[in-house]
């Protein structure tokens, strides 16, 4: 329309609520113990009922599964473990029929070492695919070319005995990093994106969006903290200033290029911008110009302790830096689940729900991780049950991601309705009360509260109303308004008082003990509320 300026990152995703499906552990339709595409199709009705608008499915491409699918050996295929193209098309069709959008996981930072590009690339220094990856000579004393480390432990370089050169991998040796300075790699991914758009996907979650381009001079990264052998891979990785391997300016050029591909299809680019220090200024660059990513995950809320000052720092700084275009998650398949992080037990669960009251009403895109809606804590597995390479390949086990990846308990039949076979990873000590079936018929259950919360969001959130903080940094109640709605979370002790702005406010939703008086609200500990201005 003439005279109307379309905001750069606006789209159908404004106002949407996302849901992450970790496919292996969601629903298994054929009894092989691994979740699959038809399994997801069978649960779309549930997701619609819950109030989800957008589903993100983790990788289902052909893969040796060294990193459970994040090691892709064919970007335009489907691993038979998860189903067929027919299953995929049916899933998309069904989802669209029910008004759900589907985004898929694009893994451009690295391929699998079993990808034909890499097999060719390693076959000879003169191979035409050699330049698809980063190959470098050893130092004069035979060491790796620089001090870069892998997220998953050890050097980021592996020596290929045959050619005498090292190749780069920021994750497992089975996940060689692609060379995004090579125009042929850029063109390959153009075709991959077009391929999936032609199959009607609604967008992409971009894995390791912060990592694609590298400084090609490959200098050593500066060291921030002294490293010792008792540190976990994550701690070692965080001990470096990733000045030359992550967050390089060239990443934005790639996303700008992809915007031209996805915009005509009205498809979403949602980036995993995982920067260890979670500096919001750096994350915001991926979205702020309005022509690169539409949304970027902001990870600080998944690590923040239950402490008012840390929460204020996390939320105020992020919203100052990127007021509209961040994506918020409570948990993911890479981190401990929120109830566990917040102390475990009933208190941890209550805190996770109270925290959702804050998180889900912020400007931007909230994404629920499967099982968050059931209040599930992480599962503690026995050493021999662990599957994640981060745990199984390292002597210091503190970072395994398996505890968040166990299957969803749908009902209390054997296999908890997840599978009629043997699950690929133990389901763990879930009880009947954890199941969807039980919670769906129990008033006041976590699931029913989530469903209500999402309905209130849908009915009352004025998307165009900017966020205004109702409390200040010295308050233990973190509260903001958007139009005629107030969200408030008490991170302090009992008895906190929130003074309300003028008007007649009604309590629409609360977690824990919350008392609404004439012009104020009193909060017990671990409580939260949504208030709505009566019209």
**Beta carbon of residue 333, minimum distance to ligand NOJ (angstroms, whole number):** 6
Name the closest residue to ligand NOJ (Cβ): 70
CB of 293 to ligand NOJ, least distance (A): 16
> Residues 90-119: x/- map of binding to ligand NOJ (CB under 6 A)?
-----------------x------------
Task: Tell me, residue by residue from 360 to 399, as one string, x for binding to ligand NOJ by CB under 6 A and - for no binding.
Answer: ----------------------------------------
Q: Is 117 helix (H, G, I), strand (E, B) or coil?
A: helix
Least distance to ligand NOJ, CB of residue 334, Å: 5
Residue 334 within binding range of ligand NOJ, rule CB under 6 A: yes
| Closest listed residue to residue 313, CA positions, set 338, 348, 277, 339 | 277
| Active-site annotation holder among 207, 334, 335, 373 | 207
Q: Whose CA is closest to 79, among 62, 104, 66, 67?
A: 62
Give 127: exposed, middle or buried? Use CB within 10 Å, 0-12, 13-18, 19+. middle
Contacts of 206 (CB under 8 A, 6+ apart): 106, 108, 255, 269, 270, 271, 272, 293
Tell whether residue 476 is a contact of ligand NOJ (CB under 6 A): no
CB of 178: closest distance to ligand NOJ in angstroms? 12
Q: Is 75 in the site for ligand NOJ (CB under 6 A)?
A: no
Supply the minimum distance, in Å, between the C-beta of residue 350 and ligand NOJ.
27
Number of chain positions touching ligand NOJ (CB under 6 A): 9
The one among 27, 55, 208, 511 contacting ligand NOJ by CB under 6 A:
208
The 8-class DSSP code of residue 425 comes to: S
Residues 147-176, one symbol each (x = binds ligand NOJ by CB under 6 A, - = not), give ------------------------x-----
Minimal distance in Å, beta carbon 16 to ligand NOJ? 20
Question: Could you tell me if 365 and 16 are in contact, meaning their C-beta atoms sit under 8 angstroms apart?
Answer: yes
207 carries an active-site annotation? yes
Place of tokens 């389901």: 427
Of 36 and 402, CB closest to ligand NOJ = 402
Handedness of CA 378, 380, 385, 387 (dihedral sign): positive
Task: Please pick, from the candidates 13, 19, 26, 70, the single residue that binds ligand NOJ as defined by CB under 6 A.
Answer: 70
**Nearer Cβ to ligand NOJ (207/245):** 207
In this complex, which beta carbon is closest to ligand NOJ, that of residue 278 or of residue 449?
278
User: Does residue 67 belong to the site contacting ligand NOJ (CB under 6 A)?
Assistant: yes
**Cα distance from N-terminal residue to C-terminal residue, the chain:** 31
H/E element holding 329?
strand 326-329
Among the listed residues 464, 433, 452, the one whose alpha carbon sits nearest the alpha carbon of residue 529: 452
The secondary element (H helix, E strand) that includes residue 189 is helix 183-198
Tell me how many degrees the CA angle 334-404-313 measures, rounded to the nearest 5. 55
Phi, psi of 301 (to 5 degrees): -60, -15
Query: Residue 259 or residue 401: which is nearer to ligand NOJ going by CB?
Result: 401
Q: How far is the CB of 259 from ligand NOJ (least distance, A)?
A: 22
Residues 254-293 contacting ligand NOJ, CB under 6 A: 272
Annotated catalytic residue 32: no
Nearest to 329 by CA among 367, 295, 361, 360: 367
- Beta-sheet pairing, 496-499 with 467-469: unpaired
- Locate 495 and state its tokens: 């008895």
Containing 515, the helix (H) or strand (E) segment is: strand 514-516
Q: Which of 272, 334, 335, 525 is the catalytic position?
A: 272
Sequential DSSP letters for 380-401: PPPGGG---HHHHT-SS-S---
Cβ count near 364 (within 10 Å): 23
State which residue, 370 or 490, has the beta carbon closest to ligand NOJ.
Answer: 370
How far apart are CB 262 and ligand NOJ at their closest, in Å?
20
Q: What is the contact mask toward ligand NOJ in residues 188 to 207, using x (rule: CB under 6 A)?
A: -------------------x
For the annotated catalytic residues, the residue numbers are: 207, 272
Residues engaged in binding ligand NOJ (CB under 6 A): 67, 70, 107, 171, 207-208, 272, 333-334
């Amino acid at each position: 329309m003439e005279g109307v300026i379309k905001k750069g990152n606006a789209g159908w995703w404004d106002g949407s609520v996302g849901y992450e499906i970790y496919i292996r552990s969601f629903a298994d339709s054929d009894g092989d113990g691994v979740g699959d595409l038809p399994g997801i199709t069978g649960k779309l009705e549930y997701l619609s009922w819950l109030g989800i608008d957008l589903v993100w499915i983790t990788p289902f491409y052909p893969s040796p599964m060294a990193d459970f699918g994040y090691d892709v050996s064919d970007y335009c295929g489907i691993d038979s473990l998860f189903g067929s193209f027919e299953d995929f098309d049916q899933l998309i069709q069904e989802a669209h029929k029910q008004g759900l959008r589907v985004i898929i996981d694009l893994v451009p930072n690295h391929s699998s070492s079993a990808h034909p590009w890499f097999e060719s690339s390693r076959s000879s220094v003169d191979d035409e695919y050699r330049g698809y990856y980063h190959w470098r000579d050893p130092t004069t004393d035979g060491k790796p070319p620089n001090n870069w480390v892998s997220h998953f432990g050890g050097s980021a370089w592996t020596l290929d005995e045959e050619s005498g050169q090292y190749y780069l991998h920021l994750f497992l040796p089975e996940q060689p990093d692609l060379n995004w300075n090579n125009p042929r790699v850029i063109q390959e991914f153009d075709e991959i994106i077009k391929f999936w758009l032609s199959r009607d996907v609604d967008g992409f979650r971009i894995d390791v969006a912060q990592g694609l381009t590298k400084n090609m001079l490959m200098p050593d990264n500066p060291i921030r903290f002294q490293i010792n052998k008792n540190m976990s891979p994550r701690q070692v990785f965080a001990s470096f200033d990733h000045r030359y391997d992550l967050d390089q300016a060239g990443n934005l050029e790639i996303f700008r290029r992809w915007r031209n591909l996805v915009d005509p299809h009205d498809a979403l680019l949602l980036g995993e911008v995982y920067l260890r220090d979670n500096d919001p200024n750096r994350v915001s660059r991926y979205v702020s110009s309005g022509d690169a990513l539409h949304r970027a995950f902001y990870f600080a809320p998944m690590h923040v302790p239950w402490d008012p000052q840390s929460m204020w720092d996390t939320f105020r700084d992020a919203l100052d830096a990127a007021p509209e275009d961040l994506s918020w998650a409570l948990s993911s398949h890479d981190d401990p689940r929120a109830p566990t992080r917040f102390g475990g037990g009933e208190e941890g669960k209550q805190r996770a729900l109270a925290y959702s009251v804050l998180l889900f009403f912020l400007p931007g895109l909230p994404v629920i991780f499967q099982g968050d809606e059931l209040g599930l804590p992480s599962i503690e597995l026995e050493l021999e049950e662990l599957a994640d390479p981060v745990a199984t390949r390292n002597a210091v086990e503190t970072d395994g991601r398996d505890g968040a990846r166990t299957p969803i308990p749908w009902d209390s039949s054997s296999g908890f309705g997840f599978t009629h076979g043997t699950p690929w990873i133990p389901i763990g000590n879930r009880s009947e009360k954890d199941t969807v079936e039980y919670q769906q018929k129990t008033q006041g259950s976590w699931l029913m509260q989530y469903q209500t919360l999402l309905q209130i969001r849908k009915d009352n959130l004025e998307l165009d109303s900017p966020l205004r903080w109702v409390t200040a940094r010295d308050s233990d109640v973190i509260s903001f308004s958007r139009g005629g709605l107030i969200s408030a979370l008490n991170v302090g002790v009992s008895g906190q008082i929130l003074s309300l702005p003028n008007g007649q406010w009604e309590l629409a939703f609360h977690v824990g003990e919350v008392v609404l008086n004439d012009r104020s609200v009193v909060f017990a500990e671990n409580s939260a509320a949504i208030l709505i201005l009566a019209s």
